[in-house]
Amino acid sequence: MSLLSDPNEPASQPGGGLVRIRLDVAYDGTSLSGWAAQPGRRTVQGLLEEALGRVLRLAEPPALTVAGRTDAGVHARGQVAHVDLPPDRWDDGRTLVRRLAGVLPGEVRVLAASAAPAGFDARFSALSRRYAYRLCDDPAGPDPLRRFGTTWHRRPLAVEPMARACAALEGEHDFAAFCRRREGASTVRGLLRYAWRRDESGLLVADIEADAFCHHMVRALVGAAVAVGEGRRPVDWPAAVLAAGVRDSGVTVMPPQGLTLEEVRYPPDADLTSRARVTRNRRA
């Protein structure tokens, strides 16, 4: 399946009588090479497409479209994808979820499967993606049972200045200073929320939500906050980096293992097509 090439068209619709299925997916990315299928590598997309082709007895694995590609080592609790299937291969979501659980490796799970409403596109219909980044600054290291979703930072961090520094980055800006640049791609994003807190176990948790993220943006934003939390940079430094608009060698792209995609938000069903059109025009 391919996405429509005309950005003025509404969200792509399944052709040939196919039915569009929404999949809600979770995975532990520790041993995976990210979302996107790559020859010779274990990826979330590759494992899911292979499993779908197998349990549905398709001649070729179906193609998935995802809300947001994640890098190697990044996890997800609330990833969303869609797949277009022949109607005779779609029965009900619980049956498909159960069958997929029997063939997928333990680090990948389809949590729910449902017939998507008209106009739904997992990528272009999304309003926002919400990530969490978890840091342990305890000198003893993280809880062994939570270590795969947490980055251990060996220096103590002050959460209050981190929170103040990052709140100043919220809003629509050009985040080129925090992105790995791609030729011809816009780096303007709407950062809806960037907050830091300590949870009940003592972990530092960043809650980061935006309409979309460019490559390395979340981990670079976390790296800027860490520099403030260590006391190496003043509270207004991340905002100054943003305003400069160029990559700063002082911004560390943090390791992937602390990052989890928690949620993808969508508008009401009646607004799915119009939302997809707006997103396509913006990304064109």
Which of the following is catalytic: 71, 84, 121, 248?
A: 71
Q: How far apart are the first and last CA of the chain?
A: 20
Query: Comparing C-alpha atoms, which of 23, 24, 22, 20 is closest to residue 87?
Result: 20
Active site residue 71: yes
Give the helix/strand (H/E) hosting 5.
none
Query: Comparing C-alpha atoms, which of 230, 70, 245 is closest to residue 173?
Result: 245
Quick one: residue 139, left, alpha or beta (phi over 0 = left, psi -120 to 50 = alpha)? Answer: alpha
Q: How many CA atoms lie within 13 A of 170 on its CB side?
A: 14
SS3 (DSSP) at 21 = strand
**Active-site residue set:** 71
